Amino acid sequence: MRRQLGSRARLFALAVVSAAAVVSSSTITCSRAEAAPIQASGSASAGAGKADRARDEATAKARKAALEQAISGVEIPTDPAAVTQVLARAEAWTAAYRVLEVTSVGDQLEVRVEVEIDVPRLRKRIAAASAGQRASGFRFGKLQASGCAGIEEAALTEPLRAYGILADAGDATLALSISCKDRGAVANTHVRAAAVEISAKLTGAVELELGFAGQGFASELEVATGIALDRALGELADELAVVARGELELRVEQPWPAARVASLERSLREAVIGVDAVELAGISADGSAILRVGGRIDAKQLARALQDLSFPGFALVGLRVDGAHALRVRMQ
């Protein structure tokens, strides 16, 4: 389960970056495609010779009023501080607008506008942090060992702490079960073979069971067992590190042209609540692009979010959950 960016992955990543750089301004992400048109009005006093200034002021008020309407329509708990910050930069959130009508009554000038507001991105920006967000890492529970001589608990827990898997403040508990077996002498050599199986069980805020096996070869059984243990522990740590960080893997079949993958990455970052980071992690053996998704979101939530997204020029089909931390889709 160890993954490295090989030459194919590096070429793919370069293609994504290059394609993203040349995507024309007419290309929009799903969040732009789902922008909501909102109408609002604003007024200002037009003194002698100040009609242009009054129009600008009334337009700015109308744009901000449209943004306030969009915020009031968000159906999730919001963060008051984030709402204040968004309203303080209303011009950035209401850049796409058109003036529908300008009327004057006495010295009052009123402007009615229609504003295109990126609602998915707005929802994510002002969403309140989840109260159920768990701490990173897990508490260490118990260790059971069978047939393993001379293995100390610290030899297991220290690497797991280095990976960021174990933490005293974690709200899930990790229990390990290890089985060591002597596979005997390897024919026509002077080495012995050892096999180690590690089972991990998480209980509490995270419920999960994982298992990995490793093999080792050395002239002495104890050394061979240590090699097998290191390999199995490394595989297990790679998987648990993803779980501990709350990361998910999204495998995208038929990930071409590369600009589509770049569009998907942007959409996940900008529009999906709970997604903090998205990166291209590599290319699998079947040619699928592997996107690593980090944040406060689980596989089922991400699956629902993907079903709600729309994209210009392509669609995601065949969505399925491959496991607690992996999903798969196909571009078409």
In the chain the domains, ranked by start, together with CATH numbers, are: 7-25+246-331 (no CATH), 36-117 (3.30.1660), 139-245 (3.30.160.150)
330 has which bridge partners? 253, 317
CA–CA separation, 129 and 125 (whole Å): 10
Amino acid at 211: G
CA angle, 167 as apex, 128 and 243 as ends, to 5°? 65
**Length of the chain (residues):** 332
CA–CA separation, 181 and 176 (whole Å): 17
Residues 6+ apart with CB under 8 A from 233: 156, 159, 160, 198, 214
Query: What six digits make up the tokens of 256?
Result: 């071409």
Helix, strand, coil in percent for the chain, rounding step 5: 35, 35, 30
Cβ 225 vs Cβ 180: under 8 Å: yes
Cβ 59 vs Cβ 39: under 8 Å: no
Residues 6+ apart with CB under 8 A from 83: 71, 126
Return the pLDDT at 39.
Answer: 95
Looking up tokens 């393993």 gives 148
Query: What six digits make up the tokens of 257?
Result: 């042209």
316 has which bridge partners? 331
CA angle, 42 as apex, 37 and 45 as ends, to 5°? 160
* CB burial of residue 48 (10 Å; 0-12, 13-18, 19+): exposed
User: Cα torsion for 110, 116, 121, 125, to the nearest 10°?
Assistant: 0
* pLDDT digits (tens), the chain, 332 positions: 333 333 333 333 333 333 333 333 223 233 344 567 999 999 999 876 788 899 999 999 999 999 999 999 988 888 898 899 899 889 889 988 999 999 998 889 999 999 999 888 888 888 886 544 444 688 999 999 999 887 788 878 888 887 778 888 777 899 999 999 999 999 988 899 999 999 999 998 778 888 999 999 998 998 899 889 888 988 888 778 767 766 788 999 999 998 999 999 999 988 998 888 898 888 887 889 999 898 778 888 899 999 989 888 999 999 998 766 789 999 99
Amino acid at 84: T
CA–CA separation, 75 and 77 (whole Å): 7
Q: Calculate the alpha carbon distances from 222 to 85, 195, 219, 278 in Å.
A: 61, 11, 9, 42
Query: What six digits make up the tokens of 298?
Result: 């689980």
251 has which bridge partners? 290, 328
Query: What six digits make up the tokens of 15?
Result: 């293609």
In this prediction the pTM is 0.50
β-bridge pairing 97-105 and 36-45:
unpaired
Tell me if the bond preceding 257 is cis, omega within 30° of 0: yes
